[in-house]
Amino acid sequence: MSTFRSFLDKVDERIGDGLEHVLCAHHARRLRRLGWGEVLEPGGIEDRFGGRAEIRRGNSIEVLVDGEEALPAIRDAIAGARSHVHIANWHASPDFRLTREPDAPTLRDLLASTARRGVDVRVLLWAGPPVPAFQPTRGLVRSEQRKFTENTAVQCVLDARERTLHCHHEKLVIVDDTVAFVGGVDFTALEGDRHDSTEHRADRPIGWHDLMTRLRGPVVADVADHFRRRWSEIAGEDLPSPATPEPAGGSNAQLLRTVPDGTYGFAPKGEFTVLDAYLRALRSARRLVYLENQFLWSPEIAEVLIGKLCDPPSPQFRVVLLLPRKPSNGADTTRGQLGRLLDADDGNHRLLATTISSHDGESSAPVYVHAKLGIVDDEWMTIGSANLNEHSLFNDTEVNIATDDRDLIRATRLRLWSEHLRRPADAVDGDPADVVDGLWRPIAEEQADLERRGARRTHRLVLLPGVSRRAERLEGPLRGLLVDG
**Percent share of the chain, pLDDT over 90:** 75
426 or 468, higher pLDDT: 426
- Does 468 have pLDDT greater than 70? no
pTM of the model: 0.94
136 or 20, higher pLDDT: 136
Q: Please report the pLDDT score of residue 331 as a whole number.
A: 46
6 or 210, higher pLDDT: 210
Q: Please report the pLDDT score of residue 332 as a whole number.
A: 45
Q: Please report the pLDDT score of residue 364 as a whole number.
A: 76
- Does 26 have pLDDT greater than 70? yes
- Does 480 have pLDDT greater than 80? no
- Does 161 have pLDDT greater than 60? yes
Q: How confident is the model at residue 29 (pLDDT cuts 50, 70, 90)?
A: very high
Beta strand 398-403 with 351-360: parallel, antiparallel or unpaired? unpaired
Q: Dihedral of CA 74/78/84/88: which sign?
A: positive
Question: Is 405 within 8 Å of 252 (Cβ atoms)?
Answer: yes
Q: Please report the pLDDT score of residue 426 as a whole number.
A: 95
**What is the mean predicted confidence (pLDDT) over 85-106?**
95
CA–CA dist 168, 395 (Å, integer): 9
Q: Please report the pLDDT score of residue 338 as a whole number.
A: 86
Q: Please report the pLDDT score of residue 330 as a whole number.
A: 43
Beta strand 251-259 with 271-272: parallel, antiparallel or unpaired? antiparallel
Question: Is 354 within 8 Å of 444 (Cβ atoms)?
Answer: yes
**What is the mean predicted confidence (pLDDT) over 282-310?**
95
Question: Is 286 within 8 Å of 433 (Cβ atoms)?
Answer: no
Beta bridge partners of residue 213, listed in sequence order: 63, 182
Q: Which run of H or E residues covers position 116?
A: helix 107-116
Q: Please report the pLDDT score of residue 112 as a whole number.
A: 98
Of the candidate ranges 6-10, 171-175, 385-389, 469-473, the one whose mean pLDDT is the lowest = 469-473
Q: Please report the pLDDT score of residue 8 as a whole number.
A: 56
398-440: pLDDT as tens digits: 999 999 999 999 999 999 999 999 999 999 999 999 999 999 9
CA–CA dist 216, 119 (Å, integer): 20
**What is the mean predicted confidence (pLDDT) over 330-339?**
64
Task: Return the C-alpha torsion angle 26, 30, 35, 38, nearest 10.
Answer: -20
Q: Please report the pLDDT score of residue 287 as a whole number.
A: 98
For residue 136, is the peptide bond before it cis, meaning its omega torsion is within 30 degrees of 0? yes
Q: Please report the pLDDT score of residue 470 as a whole number.
A: 46
Beta bridge partners of residue 367, listed in sequence order: 207
CA–CA dist 20, 100 (Å, integer): 45
CA–CA dist 126, 391 (Å, integer): 15
**What is the mean predicted confidence (pLDDT) over 297-314?**
95
Q: List strand residue ranges (DSSP E) for 306-429, in order.
A: 318-322, 351-360, 363-369, 373-376, 380-384, 398-403
Average pLDDT, the chain: 91
**What is the mean predicted confidence (pLDDT) over 233-258?**
98
- Does 85 have pLDDT greater than 90? yes
**Percent share of the chain, pLDDT over 70:** 90
Q: Please report the pLDDT score of residue 351 as a whole number.
A: 98
- Does 281 have pLDDT greater than 50? yes
Q: Nearest to residue 39, comparing CAs of 263, 283, 252?
A: 283
Write down the number of H helices and E strands in the chain: 13, 18
- Does 277 have pLDDT greater than 90? yes
Q: For helices 273-284 and 299-310, what crossing angle results, to 10°?
A: 10
176-206: pLDDT as tens digits: 999 999 999 999 988 777 999 998 888 777 8
Question: Is 393 within 8 Å of 481 (Cβ atoms)?
Answer: no
Q: For helices 107-116 and 138-149, what crossing angle results, to 10°?
A: 40
Question: Is 371 within 8 Å of 292 (Cβ atoms)?
Answer: yes
Which domains occur in the chain, in start order?
13-54+254-483 (3.30.870.10), 60-249 (3.30.870.10)
Q: Nearest to residue 356, comparing CAs of 413, 285, 422?
A: 422
**What is the mean predicted confidence (pLDDT) over 42-49?**
70
Q: Please report the pLDDT score of residue 114 as a whole number.
A: 98
Task: Return the C-alpha torsion angle 157, 180, 407, 303, nearest 10.
Answer: 20
Q: Please report the pLDDT score of residue 4 as a whole number.
A: 60
Question: Is 19 within 8 Å of 481 (Cβ atoms)?
Answer: yes
Q: Please report the pLDDT score of residue 250 as a whole number.
A: 98
**What is the mean predicted confidence (pLDDT) over 218-243?**
98
